[in-house]
Amino acid sequence: MRVSAVSFLNTVPLVWGFLRGPQRGLVDLTFDVPSVCADRLATGDADVGIVPCAELDPLGLDFLSETGIACRGPVRSILLISKVPLRRIRSLAADASSRTSVMLTRVLLAEKYGVVPEWFSQPPVLEQMLVNADAALVIGDPALRIEPAALPYECLDLGEEWWSFTGLPMVFAVWAGRSRFITPETRRLFRDSCEYGLSRLDEIIDNPGSRHGFSPEVAREYLTRYIRFRLGADELAGLEAFRKYAATFRARDAELTITSA
């Protein structure tokens, strides 16, 4: 089975069994940014991948409901940084690797702050992003390397914003694939790899390579305080709510495309 995983710190516990545990050698594992994981599934270059949740419905994918990348409140690694007041954002530079976070940003800005900015993709270099736009969306490891309190800008943690808006957890990514690959054996394999990783967080945090260059303190706080890897009923309810918002926004986009044509 060809598996595409995200090359961020928050994926390491999910794949630790595949890398170091009893599941090693059972899948052909490669690492990509989130948007590429989705693209590899769309083209058939991967059978299962960590997929941004915004891509589940457009790609018609089934998913493994037991594990993923989620939060209940602040997530720390999904940051919207604005040099203007939030209600005055008219342009948004988004990390080119992001899809779920772009949709989440659009939902929150429209529903909470009443703004619908134009957005474009750009590499996650904050100061350059803010030269070209009113606000920047930075995700994953690049966001973890930013200290929000030290910025001279307004900074929103989008996990916290979603929690305050809906009262539900936010699920950013899940293991997904075509239905023929989402079997009981696949569910067990990926669940077991995650459980192996969660049982060995000390080992992950003590390994400089697996913590992606972050200090042990940063890695531990992030993986134990902010990220949730097991998905329960509340997480799945949050995912369903997000998918409904995403569907509404995709429908609006399609209508605007037709109208402009």
pLDDT digits 0-9 by tens, 137-166: 999 999 999 999 999 999 999 999 999 999
Return the pLDDT at 258.
Answer: 64
Question: Which ranges in the chain are annotated with CATH 3.40.190.10?
Answer: 2-70+170-250, 78-166
Return the pLDDT at 113.
Answer: 95
From residue 123, how far is each of 19, 51, 126 by CA, in Å? 29, 20, 9
Helix 158-166, helix 233-260: angle, nearest 10: 100
Q: What does residue 66 show for φ and ψ, rounded to 5 degrees?
A: -90, -30
Strand order in the sheet with 118-122: 118-122, 91-95, 135-139, 78-82, 154-157
Instruction: Of 142-151, 182-191, 200-209, 249-258, give the lowest mean pLDDT range.
Output: 249-258
Return the pLDDT at 259.
Answer: 57
Per the prediction, the chain carries an average pLDDT of 94
Is the pLDDT at 174 greater than 70, yes or no? yes
Instruction: Say if residues 81 and 126 touch (Cβ distance below 8 Å).
Output: yes
From residue 23, how far is each of 26, 186, 212, 222, 253 by CA, in Å? 6, 11, 22, 25, 42
% helix / strand / coil in the chain, to the nearest 5? 50, 25, 25
Q: What is the pLDDT of residues 198-209, one digit of tens each?
A: 999 999 999 988
Is the pLDDT at 14 greater than 80, yes or no? yes
Q: What is the pLDDT of residues 22-80, one digit of tens each?
A: 999 999 999 988 888 889 999 999 999 999 999 999 999 999 999 999 999 999 999 99
Q: How buried is residue 183: exposed, middle or buried, by Cβ count under 10 Å (0-12/13-18/19+)?
A: exposed
Q: What is the CATH number of domain 2-70+170-250?
A: 3.40.190.10
Return the pLDDT at 257.
Answer: 62
- What pLDDT band is residue 261 in, cutting at 50, 70 and 90? very low
Q: What is the CATH number of domain 78-166?
A: 3.40.190.10
- What pLDDT band is residue 253 in, cutting at 50, 70 and 90? confident
Maximal C-alpha separation, the chain: 55
pTM above 0.85, yes or no: yes
